[in-house]
Amino acid sequence: MPGGFPEFRLGAVLATSFTGTLSERYGEPVERIPTPRRLVDWLAVNGLAVDSCTAAQLERARELRESIHATATAAALHEALPAAAVGVINDCSSNGRAAAILTTEGSRHWRLGSASGVDDALGVIAADAIEIIAGDRDGRLALCASPTCRAAFFDTSRSRTRRWCDMNTCGNRQKKARFAAKRRPVSPVAR
C-alpha cells in the first residue's frame, strides 16, 4: 500500500476502472480515493492530470462513481436504469469541457481546462460510462462473480464470458478458496 493507501485497480475501460475505486462493496469495502489528493493521483494515472481537488469535488466524484456503478449494474442485469443516477452521469458529462487531442504517435489524450480540471475529468469519465452503458462499444457489461465484490466491468473477451472484474484479485481469491476446499480433510462421520 503506497503511502498507506490501497493500490489502484487499473483496467482498460475508464468508467469501470473508476467504479473500482471502491471495491468489496458487499464485504469489507475498500476505498481507494479517501482524500482529494488520492483522487488527483487516480486521475493522473488515468491520463486526466489535474493540479488539485477540493473536498466538494471529491464528493462529486464519488457521487458520479456510485451513479455509474448503479447504472452499469442495472444495464448488466437488463433492468431499468435508475433515473437519478442517469441524471448525475448526464450532468457530469455535459458540465465537462475536455477536448480530445490526437498526438503525433496516433494516440488520444485529453486536454482539460485549467479552471475546472476536475469537472472536465469527471466529464470524460461520464462520457465513457455513457458509451459503454448505451452499447456503443464492442463488449458487454457484466458483474463480478465474487459475492463480496459484484463490481460492474466491461467484458471485451472474445467469448464474452469473463467472470471476474480482476483476475489478479477476485478471480485469484476464488481459485484459492476452491483449491483450499478441495484439500480440506473430510471429517469422519460420528457413530
Q: Print the domain residue range for 120.
A: 14-137
Does residue 147 form part of some domain? no
Q: Give 32-64 pLDDT, tens digit per residue.
A: 999 999 999 999 999 999 999 999 999 999 999
Give the model confidence (pLDDT) of 73-116 as tens digits. Answer: 999 999 999 999 999 999 999 998 888 889 899 988 888 876 66
Residue 38 lies in a domain: yes
Number of domains in the chain: 1
pLDDT per position as a tens digit, 118-173: 999 999 999 999 999 999 888 899 998 888 888 888 888 888 888 888 767 776 66
In this prediction, residue 187 has a pLDDT band, given cuts at 50, 70 and 90, of low
Please give the residue that has the higher pLDDT: either 6 or 1.
6
Whether 161 is in a domain gets the answer no
Cell 466491468 appears where? 153
Asked if residue 97 is part of any domain, the answer here is yes
d(CA 84, CA 48): 26
Residue 87 is predicted with a pLDDT of 98
Q: Is residue 148 part of a domain?
A: no
Q: Do strands 108-111 and 140-143 pair parallel, antiparallel, or not at all (unpaired)? A: unpaired
Q: Note the pLDDT tens digit of each residue in 158-185.
A: 888 888 887 677 766 666 666 566 666 6
Q: According to the model, what pLDDT value does residue 128 have?
A: 95
Q: 78, exposed or middle or buried, with CB in 10 Å at 0-12, 13-18, 19+?
A: exposed
